Amino acid sequence: MKNQLLLFLALLINGNYIYAQVAPFSIPPKWYYGKSGNGVGVAGMNFMGGAPVNISGVADVNSNTAEEAGTTMVDSAGNVTFYTVTDQVLYNSANTNVSALTGYFSSTQGAIAFPDPASPFNQYYLVIAACELGGNGLQWYRLSVSGPTVTILSGPNVLQAISTVTESVTVSTDGNYGYWIVAHATSNTNYYSWNVTAAGVGARVTSTGTINGSVNQGSLKISKCQNRIAFVTHGAPGSVEVYNWNKTTGTLGALVRSTALTAGGIWYGCEFSPDETKLYMSNLLLPRLDQYDLSTGVITNLSTTSSNNSSEIGTMQLGPDGKIYVVNGSVAGVSGNVYHGVINNPNTAGAGCGYVANGYIYMPMSRPVSGIPLLIEEWPTKHGSIQADQIFSIQDVRQ
């Protein structure tokens, strides 16, 4: 830790660059999501002060949208530049509907966004996940942002047709100011990745895993340290596999763990602990929340109940505060508080991880349904002469 601190201080004072805060953020500190209903509409979470607080005044959307995951993009000062409360509607920072997107509201992982390596402070890529029920498959848009004005520069551009990839998508950095878009095939065990650089979106790269993505629902996640990738899918029974991830080549490395999961329901969401040693997995309909210890192979059940008037446990997302936030399903008609589950100590094995089903009150009477924002967890955007992920890696590496 001492050496890491000295290196961090050296980076801060080197040259003519002074940093009041690390920016861009390794995990976006503001999240907009949820579903309209109960007279409240969409809400959000603000981590700018450390512990999250609710955000109100976010645009109300059609009640048929925002069923599952969207995404939120912020600038280097933590201001929201745009967001999708679903993979169907694009909003700007003024909560104005910018454009209809060609995705589908019931896609498990919905959408994810990241800065354009060619112009990282005012241009972005927005990736829309496929959905078995509709939409155009896995696709991307390139956007420019100037104040509240969001302009679609390109898109929709289809990477994979609707029937060829699952409803899961994730993004990693490439170690050279670029990114990888990653998806899983539906008809075989292949992982597909595309390198996004200042030159644009590259050709598809294919890796082969062990789990067939024959069922559309499920999740892909790359760990915060960008060293591991997980794929969770339901079937008969559900399955999970974790590989080492090579961010330089956008390919799988060695298999870390793979196992069948408890039968029934829909294995749905997943998230790594910050130190990459645990994987948390949710089953939407059983419902069920499990911890998979990647060091020992032990799976520990943390919960079999939702904290709201629902039988669902949905997706989850690591927060800037190091805790994991778990959506606890649809809450139509609820008359009181709506809760998210919170994994307070995600690096700790077993019950010591401190899962609390009603750990966070999410904007009373708003409806988070089954999806929390899907966010890139490491940004390599240039900031002065120092690459942001060089700074983040000091605080994010396994202790």
Q: Cβ neighbours of residue 224 under 8 Å, at least 6 residues apart? A: 26, 27, 272, 274, 276, 318, 377, 378, 396
Please state, in angstroms and rounded to a whole number, the distance separating the CA atoms of residues 121 and 153. Answer: 15
> Tens of pLDDT along the chain (399 residues)?
444 444 444 444 443 333 223 345 678 899 887 765 555 556 788 999 999 998 877 765 554 555 677 888 998 888 899 988 767 778 888 888 888 888 776 677 778 899 999 999 899 999 988 776 667 789 999 999 999 999 999 999 999 988 888 888 899 999 999 999 999 998 899 999 999 999 999 999 999 999 988 777 788 999 999 999 999 998 767 899 999 999 999 999 999 999 999 988 888 889 999 999 999 999 888 889 999 999 999 999 999 887 766 677 888 899 999 999 998 765 555 556 678 899 999 999 999 999 998 898 876 545 555 567 778 766 554 433 333 333 333 233 333
Please state, in angstroms and rounded to a whole number, the distance separating the CA atoms of residues 146 and 96. Answer: 14
pLDDT, residue 63, reads 46
Query: DSSP letter at 370?
Result: T
Please state, in angstroms and rounded to a whole number, the distance separating the CA atoms of residues 223 and 397. Answer: 11
Q: What is the CA radius of gyration of the chain?
A: 19
Nearest Cα to 112, choosing from 82, 157, 148?
A: 82
Amino acid in position 41: G
pLDDT, residue 144, reads 95
pLDDT, residue 373, reads 76
pLDDT, residue 135, reads 74
Strands 228-233 and 382-383 turn out to be: unpaired
Contact 314, 18 (CB under 8 A): no
Please state, in angstroms and rounded to a whole number, the distance separating the CA atoms of residues 286 and 370. Answer: 14
- Structural class in CATH, domain 2-396: mainly beta
The tokens of 336 are what? 């009181």
Please state, in angstroms and rounded to a whole number, the distance separating the CA atoms of residues 50 and 135. Answer: 37
Please state, in angstroms and rounded to a whole number, the distance separating the CA atoms of residues 104 and 160. Answer: 15
Nearest Cα to 20, choosing from 79, 80, 81, 77?
A: 77
pLDDT, residue 334, reads 53
pLDDT, residue 234, reads 81
pLDDT, residue 355, reads 96
Contact 104, 64 (CB under 8 A): no
